[in-house]
Amino acid sequence: MPASGGHYTLSNQHLCAGKYDLQIIDKEINPFVDKWEEEGQFPAHKVFKILGQAGFLGVDKPTEYGGMGLDFSYNIAVAEELGNIRCGGIPMAIGVQTGMATPALTRFGSDELKKQFLVPTIAGDFVACLGISETGAGSDVANIKTTAVRKGDEYVINGGKMWITSGSQADWMCLLANTSEGPPHQNKSLICLPMNLPGIHVAKKIDKLGMRSSDTAQIFFEDVRVPCKNLIGEEGNGFTYQMLQFQEERLWGVASALTPLETIIQETIDYTRQRKVFGRPVLHNQTVHFRLAELAAEVELLRSLLHRAVALYVEGNDVTKFASMAKLKAGRLTREVTDSCLQFWGGMGFTNEVLVSRLYRDLRLMSIGGGSDETMLSIICKYMDILPRK
């Protein structure tokens, strides 16, 4: 695996001579993050075009469609670097673009579909979203109700999706819908759905606790007609395709959290070193510096688990168990680190003026999105053969 001293870095991987300019984050994103957080949305088309031109959006995608043709470990390297963005919402939206809306299309889509949707998505000309979750079906993917009924050479789509990242700006959606009346794990299909079709209604942009610079939408479909050729792979295999994609999504999510956690710990060290209480730096209290050391050790343990899982995945192994373990640990550790560090910032930590408070809100989603902690535990138990059978 491409690593150096236990860390992925873009610079030592030589992804592309001169193309991976890490100053993109410092020049094109971080100076505007506070503004985008206040506005509740970042300009996805503008930012993604910059990232697309630099190669960030197609690292592990085939070269014939504009990607770089590298293995998945390089995508994880990018995820870690994107953690230098000083909010959670923008990296999350990039993750949807690169590792959630496009893997199934890349693996199973027709050449025509890839040219129509994948090529402009990798280039940053299209913003993509993933249409899986519904009001009554978040982690319970099998329970979705949206239907796509075949009529002639078209699917007619009815239903709705909830919590859709980039939903109000997206050009197309990778939609999971029921295409038959069969068993719930065999009746679903993935469809490339252009978002400008009649009958698609973006009902509202959801006001969220965190991830505020990433727009999240509720979307309804009313007799939306899409060509049957927009089907990804085979009809009825959508659930299976989505489950395969979850391995990459969850590993990407873990990777994207590592740098923010390190940043929070370091900024807390810097602040508690200069902040004095009762005549001495807060950092000099043993409970503070011991706790920060403990949290740093936990982050390194999480990184090691991630690297092991990615190495196995690149070799072609099923890493569902390890990906679920890493996702579970990341969700809990992000809460632990942000809560502990915020406490050491005192009253300042309860303001919107410091990064720790933003990430306290943003990273709380790690235990919910992409499969809840409880879902991860069920998957782990299944692989351990200790989950009660129905």
- Residue 189, classed as helix, strand or coil, is strand
**What confidence score (pLDDT) does residue 23 get?**
87
**Per-residue pLDDT in tens (0 to 9) along the chain, 390 residues:** 443 333 333 333 434 433 444 689 999 999 999 999 999 999 999 999 999 999 999 999 999 999 999 999 999 999 999 999 999 999 999 999 999 999 999 999 999 999 999 999 999 999 999 999 999 887 788 899 999 999 999 999 999 999 999 999 999 999 999 999 989 999 999 999 999 999 999 998 999 999 999 999 999 999 999 999 999 999 999 999 999 989 999 999 999 999 999 999 999 999 999 999 999 999 999 999 999 999 999 999 999 999 999 999 999 999 999 999 999 999 999 999 999 999 999 999 999 999 999 999 999 999 999 999 999 999 999 999 999 987
267 a catalytic residue: no
**What confidence score (pLDDT) does residue 136 get?**
85
Angstrom distance (rounded) from CA 256 to CA 163? 20
Element (H, E) at 324: helix 320-345
Angstrom distance (rounded) from CA 79 to CA 195? 27
Give the E-state strand segments of 103-185 in sequence order: 128-131, 147-151, 154-165, 172-178
**What confidence score (pLDDT) does residue 22 get?**
63
Angstrom distance (rounded) from CA 372 to CA 209? 17
**What confidence score (pLDDT) does residue 390 get?**
76
**What confidence score (pLDDT) does residue 223 get?**
98
- Helix-, strand-, coil-residue percentages of the chain, each rounded to 5: 50, 15, 30
- Residue 30, classed as helix, strand or coil, is helix
Which pairing describes strands 154-165 and 147-151: parallel, antiparallel, or unpaired? antiparallel
Annotated active-site residue in 37, 80, 249, 262: 249
The pair of three-digit structure tokens given for residue 75, joined into one six-digit string: 């995508």
Residue 113 to residues 45, 104, 108, 193: CA-CA distances in angstroms? 21, 11, 10, 11
The pair of three-digit structure tokens given for residue 188, joined into one six-digit string: 């679903």
Would residue 9 be called left, alpha or beta, if left means φ above 0 and alpha means ψ between -120 and 50 degrees? beta
